[in-house]
Amino acid sequence: MAAVQDDSLEAQRCIQKELDQAKDASLEMVQKFEVEILALRKEIETMEQEHRDERYRHAEVEIRNGKRAKFLHAEKNMLQKELDEVKRDLFLNEVKYRKELDASTAEIERQLSRNYKLSEELKRKDQEISGSCFSVTYAEGTMCSYKSQKQSCSITFPTEVRVERTESENDHFKMTCNSSCSLTDNKTSFQLYKNTETGEQKVVESPLVTISSTESFFCTVKDRHDLLSNEVCVDDSNCWTVNYDSRRICGLKGSSVNISSKYSHPEQQQSLTKRWYKMKINTKLEEEVMENNTDVNYQDDTRNQHILRLNNLDEKNSGEYEFRIKTDHFIWKSSNFSGVTLIVTALPAWVYPASHQMPTRDGNPRDPA
């Protein structure tokens, strides 16, 4: 993102330089026109003086010859004609220079408009990139295959991953992974999975799946199973899926939180029981979260949404929570990669993506250290 911002600043500096050059050229042209107009006026004054001198000389001759009146009349007509021609040339030059000046001004205004639109477009793209991507810098280059182990390196990750369904032919769909982040590199390529009754399975090639399939699909960032998409069906909701509204929740000790899941099932199959399970962080030990009338409540509605509400939070509530659906033949849950992680703290805490600003003690945003 820093490289894109540097390119944006460099583009703006180049645009400003071109605009300053255009303004200087326009000012230089106006000054040139003023100098030429002054020269023409001096030329007119010189010609008038010369004609007056010539007229006086001819007047003396005409007086001597007795033809003074005729000479003066002819001289006046000639001078007036020459003066009219000079004024006409001056007017035509002023019109010409004014048109050129107006054309230059219009071009500068068009350039300013284009520069403004370009600047707004660059700002919009920067906002889109910063909102859909974040970068992680590693002290050693082992995470980046193109760097030596002694060098630090950065990897850009997407903030969201999604499964896209593309209709092919004969009621078949192609399932692929995608993201709004356009700055990811080969290290952050995606992996498509399908979730079945026996667990998730890697999909090597983008499959063609019939619209009647009850398999669900989801995507992850390669080697980063904490960055994964929601499970989706080929035909909207005609399959088993379990998804979560949020996979990271931070709660304050003594408060309450809602851990919400959404699920779907094939039209001809129904679930028998719906339960929440908790696993301690960094362990494989799990336990069923039993509902009671005080600290733990289940909320189930008809929109296929199930909510686990925890009251009077304590540090012991920290852990990873999973929602599971039980049928006559199997237990369905989201993938084994990640459920919902709840962290309970005694002090207020904020969770921010790496690409966002974090608040200071007074609540104002600051750049992350």
> Using one digit for the tens of pLDDT, what is the confidence trace for 50-100?
888 887 887 777 667 666 667 677 888 888 888 888 888 888 888 888 888
274-333 pLDDT, tens digit each = 889 998 777 777 888 888 878 999 888 767 888 999 999 998 899 899 888 887 766 666
pLDDT of residue 68: 62
Higher pLDDT, 302 or 171: 171
Domain map (residue ranges) of the chain: 2-133, 240-352
Query: What is the average pLDDT across 99-108?
Result: 87
203-244 pLDDT, tens digit each = 877 778 887 777 888 888 877 777 888 888 887 777 888 889
pLDDT of residue 44: 84
- Please check the confidence at residue 357 and state whether its pLDDT lies above 90: no
Closest CA to 214 of 330, 339, 336, 337: 330
240-352 sits in which CATH class? mainly beta
- Please check the confidence at residue 363 and state whether its pLDDT lies above 50: no
pLDDT of residue 259: 93
pLDDT of residue 313: 93
Higher pLDDT, 249 or 369: 249
Query: What is the average pLDDT across 21-27?
Result: 79
- Please check the confidence at residue 361 and state whether its pLDDT lies above 60: no
pLDDT of residue 258: 93
- Please check the confidence at residue 106 and state whether its pLDDT lies above 50: yes
120-164 pLDDT, tens digit each = 776 665 555 456 777 777 776 555 655 455 666 777 778 788 888
Q: Kindly list the distances between the CA atom of residue 70 and the CA atoms of 48, 54, 78, 347, in Å, as whole numbers in the listed order.
A: 20, 15, 12, 112
**Separation between Cα atoms, residue 219 and residue 229, nearest integer Å:** 5
